[in-house]
A and B are shown apart, each in its own frame.
Chain A
Amino acid sequence: MMDLLLTNSEALPDKVNSEVGEHSEFVEGRWKKSFLGTGVTVPRELPQLTYRPHRATDDLLEEREATENLLKVKGFLPPEPITEKGIRTFNEILYGEHLFKLMVPIKVEAEPSTEGWILYHEDLSILAVAPTMEECIDGFQEYFYVLWEEYANKKDDELTDSGQILKHKLLDIIKE
């Protein structure tokens, strides 16, 4: 590509000097002809231009970087979509207006089936089946709420030993 050499105002044709005026100054250096065009003057005091990506771009880049870092973690499973047997983690349970914050996350087996999806937690004995993962997650949270309603609020003498154990597991896992 052809370069245009600019030295100083005296080196330029009179026509150019008369166009830019007596207060104009020129910068020495090599400039791409396609960028400046022929006979274009460049003021010494260029505006201070700094490249700063738009905030939304920053967020996207950070999110992408964070996702890439997470994927490098051994054993990390992205939340959606799961196409084969895996683990789904619940940090809290939300059913209707009821929000249960958990002391420790609940890790649940997720498995595809002809019905769609199965979520199963052996210790709490929760089984949810639904056509989509989203519905299955809702079903799991509904089941948790039903257990809380059916066991956590019962008096111990209404429950067998195993019932009392389940009741206290539920009470122990719920933070608030």
Chain B
Amino acid sequence: MPTVFKKREIKSALERKGFVKAEGKPHEFYVLMVNGKQSAIQTKLSHGSDEYSRKVLSYIRKQLGFNQI
């Protein structure tokens, strides 16, 4: 398992799982849509980082309620 994770890989994984990026917003806010409705499962990716450590990824997983991304 790598020690760092690329932001683009995380974004790609989120989109594969049904997350949608908020349109027309300056921030990278991804939310899980269920039957066209917005759920509470969401994450906002930081502008500053292109890579995330394993620790941050574990927080993202916790936030999204996933075992893995």
Chain A contact residues, CB within 8 Å of chain B: 111, 113-115, 118, 120, 122, 125, 127-131, 135, 139, 142-143, 146-147, 150-151, 154, 157-160, 162-163, 165-166
Contact = CB atoms under 8 A, between A and B. Distances in A.
Interface in B5-40: 22, 25, 27, 29, 31, 34-35, 37-40
Contacts, number: 73
A160 B29 contact: no
Interface string B26-69: 01010100110111111110101100110110011011000000
A162 B63 contact: no
Interface residues of B, number: 26
Contacts of B27: 142, 146
B29 A113 contact: no
Between A114, A120, A154, the greatest number of chain B beta carbons within 10 A of the residue's beta carbon is seen for: A114
B55 A114 contact: yes
A110 to B, nearest CB: 12
